[in-house]
Amino acid sequence: MQRIIKPYISFDEVETDFREILESGILTKGPYVGRFRERIREYIGASNAFLTTSATTALWLSLKAAGIKAGDEVIVSDFSFPASANVIEDLGAIPVFADVDLHTFNMLPEELEKKLTRKTKAVMFVDALGNPSGILEIKNICKKYNLILIEDAACAFGSSVNNIKCGNIADMTCFSFHPRKLLTTGEGGAITTNLPGYTRFFEVKLNHGAVVDSQKQDFVDYGYNFRLPEIQAAMGIKQVEKIDSIIESRQKIKAEYVKQLNSLGFAVQTCDDNVVHNVQSVVFKVPEGLDRDGLIAHLRNNQIESTLGTYCLSNTTYYRNKYGQIQPNAAFLEKNTITLPCFEGVDVNHICESISKFVKPAN
């Protein structure tokens, strides 16, 4: 089976570190966590980085840091994984879905401004499939209306705009290290921010509300255990060191897909000229009238894994029934996009040949 992605890490790379961690007996809050945080901070160029158990807990905690409470409205990109809206809903706030561009798949500035009300307290911009195109325009609108900008960069580690890395643009940025991501720790995530006022908040909340002073632990607030363990941090360190080469290789794979599929009518997700896309996923809009789900089934029968681009959040059963604000572009993209395998050694020729046989069946 040609999988959608394979991890860019081997046991040989981490064997020595795993042995050191296990023999030390320090499985959490140890030196590897500190090193991983610092590597992320240095790579991105942000003032602070904090590790979490997932991008979901990172987003949830960022909303808490922004002071989001019941009844507040948070405008969120409508083309994303449900976690983007779920964390808003969980806090009793109201997710307000903003439609997206049919080419970049990202939040449209005009849609954001149309959705603003007195209750709007924050904006969650999603880098769709790792693509941050348009975030600077959204940032300017947030500044204009004095709104907190949270970047759901779950897929965007290594992407950049105007040579500024994702994680160094929004007020708070949240990353995922899930197995579908370029940098994976199995499960895990991170928050980066340049706002000094959030540093103590995250340090305390991520550690059960505790502070340590001269080896004395005091619980100054209520908090949570959203900590990443040492073994997972060791995995992350190795991948940060080679993330740029990973991105370069994925960009070449994407280019080969585009070369072979353009003539069949497939349109790849686009990026602004000032954007470097990490190619978290290779996603195409299928030709008009093509049965996307049929194509996915056809590829599966040929031992090729594929899936939809991602979800129209406003059209999921829960949010459709509760809010009834389905966004047309996001709904179109959910129905008409496909994610294709992208990893070192993927057989692009075989995949494109299989697609061609579905699009142009033999007479």
3-state SS assignment for residue 155 = coil
Does residue 228 sit in the same domain as residue 82?
yes
Residue 165's domain spans which residues?
A: 11-240
**Cross-strand partners of 193:** 48
Phi then psi dihedrals of residue 275, to 5 deg: -110, 135
Residues 337-344, mean pLDDT to the nearest whole number = 97
Tell whether the model's pLDDT for residue 360 goes beyond 90: no
Q: Is residue 235 part of a domain?
A: yes
Q: Is residue 2 part of a domain?
A: no
Asked which of 240, 255, 286 is the last residue of a domain, the reply is: 240
Q: Is residue 6 part of a domain?
A: no
- Check which CATH number belongs to the domain holding 178 and give it: 3.40.640.10
Question: Cβ atoms within 10 A of the Cβ of 142, count?
Answer: 21
Q: Residue 180: pLDDT band by 50, 70, 90 thresholds?
A: very high
Half-sphere exposure for 93 (CA within 13 Å, toward CB): 27
Which residues, 6+ apart, have CB-to-CB distance to 136 below 8 Å? 161, 162, 169
Cα 156 off chain centre by? 5
Residues 226-230, mean pLDDT to the nearest whole number = 96
Residues 173-188, mean pLDDT to the nearest whole number = 97
More confident residue, 149 or 214: 149
For residue range 32-71, what is the model confidence (pLDDT) as tens digits?
999 999 999 999 999 999 999 999 999 999 999 999 999 9
Q: Is residue 4 part of a domain?
A: no
Task: Specify whether the CB–CB gap between 315 and 326 falls below 8 A.
Answer: yes
What is the enclosing helix (H) or strand (E) of 230? helix 230-240
For residue range 114-152, what is the model confidence (pLDDT) as tens digits?
999 999 999 999 999 999 999 999 999 999 999 999 999
Which residues, 6+ apart, have CB-to-CB distance to 306 below 8 Å? 4, 295, 296, 299, 300, 338, 339, 340, 341
What integer pLDDT is reported at residue 152 of this predicted model? 98
Q: Residue 363: pLDDT band by 50, 70, 90 thresholds?
A: very low
- For helices 55-65 and 83-90, the axis angle rounded to 10 degrees is 40
